[in-house]
Amino acid sequence: MSANDDLLTFLRETLGSTGVLTDDLERYRVDWAGARGGLPLAVARPATSEQVAQVLGYCHRHDIPVVPQGGGSGLVEGALPDSQTPELVISLERLNKIRSIDPINFTVSVDAGCVLQTIKDAAEAEDCTFPLALGAQGSCQIGGNIATNAGGLNVLRYGMMRQLVLGIEVALPDGRLLDDMKALHKNNTGYDLKQLFIGAEGTLGIVTGAVLKLYPRPQVTRTALIGCPDVASVLKLYAQARRSCCDLLTAFELIPRACMELALEADPSLPDPLDAPHPVYVLMEVAASGPADLDSMIEALFERGLEDGLLEDGVLATSDTQAAQLWQLREAMLEGQQRRGEHLRTDVSLPISQLTAFHDQAEAAITEASPDSQVIAYGHVGDGNLHFNILPPAHLDDDDKRSLLHELEEQLFAIVAEFDGSISAEHGIGRVKQPYFLESLSAPEHDIMRGLKRLLDPRGLMSPGRILPRMQR
């Protein structure tokens, strides 16, 4: 029998026949963004945490590289099977139960393969909320959210995924299970090992379960769209908004006029939201779980912002329908970008106070380098997170577009470095951002990261080549 036959025999014996797939593997080779990976050795679909650990133990003993897979909505190709060295895909899709929910402790204990939306629904049923909010929430899995330290729309109020994890269970590369599923809000006993695995993109072990923090469910939500004269005003308005809305802000999104026009072009049924166009817009959401007078808070913010010249006009949605329409503008903007075909998507972050200077310098540099390209920079102001994207000139062919965008990306990332920013605020490194990432590491950072990898995964079998380069064998 070949080594692969042995592997399949082991998997069938351990996971049962529904736990192993060898045919029709296409859906395990593609991701949301349309990228495509190689043909895996097989797809293992363990149904328990112990089975995940058993599979890893086997792979450890037989030197078989593995890649864990969640819902496939990653944007850095970290979960796609390698195209050079065949890997065993370990899909968490059958490990998908909510283990328990405790509304008095404000926690939920889940399997890693739970779909984010399922967890959000379970929380709502207990008058709580699990605040992580992503475009992909109907398909992404919580294990993937943890492994990539997902961000999304509500980071401003509730933090990234890392802030929402209280306990964790991880199948280690050597086949043991690390059980730290404690539902404790405070626990200061030794090194906090769960932090190692959050954001490690599956390169140090496979998250199989977690205890997550819940919050009271918002009873009232208010959405407003505000027109501002420039990005600098938006930043000042943000600081005022946090204060006058008592830190109940759940979103504070920057949308330049160019993005608004993309949105109106993509969905002509949407009205231009304010009477006249404005250079930049803020889409703002405030939510409260109790009897707070959000309307008064927002009106006070409007009045003061008008007086101080920080805003020119604004609308406070008076119905859920109107609020949904305002959010639809943001969705349509993303849709409009997609329609323009090949373009550069980035995910940078800066100190909030540097956003104006960064934006202006970066836009000037891109315009100088490629006058016919269009900058589309929107983002989560409160997190300092800009999706500074570039639409290349329409007349170029796809190859020329790609090579131009690659050059522009290098220029842009150099400016990010000048401002002490991050080239990956929330998407992670995976394979796609590895070259820039490795360049940015200092010697001590590099040494410690390599050391962590060697400590947890001495044979280099866990998602090899993601984040750090493949180990020399």
Shorter beta-carbon distance to a copy of itself: residue 21 or 416:
416
Is 178 a residue that touches a copy of itself (CB under 8 A)? Answer: yes
Is 221 a residue that touches a copy of itself (CB under 8 A)? Answer: no
263-292 residues in contact with a copy of itself (CB under 8 A) are 288-292
Is 163 a residue that touches a copy of itself (CB under 8 A)? Answer: yes
CB 355, min distance to a copy of itself, A: 9
Is 11 a residue that touches a copy of itself (CB under 8 A)? Answer: no
54-93 residues in contact with a copy of itself (CB under 8 A) are none
390-419 residues in contact with a copy of itself (CB under 8 A) are none
Is 470 a residue that touches a copy of itself (CB under 8 A)? Answer: no
Q: Which amino acid is at 205?
A: G
Is 345 a residue that touches a copy of itself (CB under 8 A)? Answer: no
- CA 271, 273, 274, 280 dihedral sign is negative
Give the CA dihedral 170, 212, 385, 443, nearest 10 degrees.
-30
Q: Which of 32, 25, 130 is nearest to 430 (CA)?
A: 32
> Checking DSSP bridges between strand 66-69 and strand 42-44, what pairing results, if any?
unpaired
Copy the structure tokens of residue 201.
Answer: 């993109």
- Binder to a copy of itself among 182, 340, 343, 402 (CB under 8 A)? 182
Shorter beta-carbon distance to a copy of itself: residue 314 or 336:
314
- Binder to a copy of itself among 77, 93, 99, 102 (CB under 8 A)? 102
Ordered alpha helix ranges (H), 159-313: 194-197, 231-244, 257-266, 294-307
Copy the structure tokens of residue 97.
Answer: 């139960």
Q: How many CB atoms lie within 10 A of CB 268?
A: 8
CB 328, min distance to a copy of itself, A: 25
133-152 residues in contact with a copy of itself (CB under 8 A) are 148-149, 151
Is 360 a residue that touches a copy of itself (CB under 8 A)? Answer: no
Residues 384, 422 contacting (CB under 8 angstroms): no
Shorter beta-carbon distance to a copy of itself: residue 86 or 103:
103
Shorter beta-carbon distance to a copy of itself: residue 43 or 456:
456
Q: Which of 214, 216, 211 is nearest to 198 (CA)?
A: 211
- Binder to a copy of itself among 239, 324, 394, 414 (CB under 8 A)? 239
Summary count for the chain: helices (H), strands (E): 14, 18
d(CA 235, CA 17) in angstroms, rounded, equals 56
Strand, coil or helix: 86: coil
Q: Which stretch binds a copy of itself (CB under 8 A): 57-65, 268-276, 400-408, 437-445?
A: 437-445
- Binder to a copy of itself among 51, 91, 107, 250 (CB under 8 A)? 107
Binding mask of the shown chain, residues 286 to 325, with x at each position contacting a copy of itself by CB under 8 A:
--xxxxxx--xx--x-------------------------
Region for 63 from its dihedrals, namely left if φ exceeds 0, alpha if ψ lies in -120 to 50, beta otherwise: left
CB 421, min distance to a copy of itself, A: 7
Give the CA dihedral 14, 15, 16, 18, nearest 10 degrees.
-160
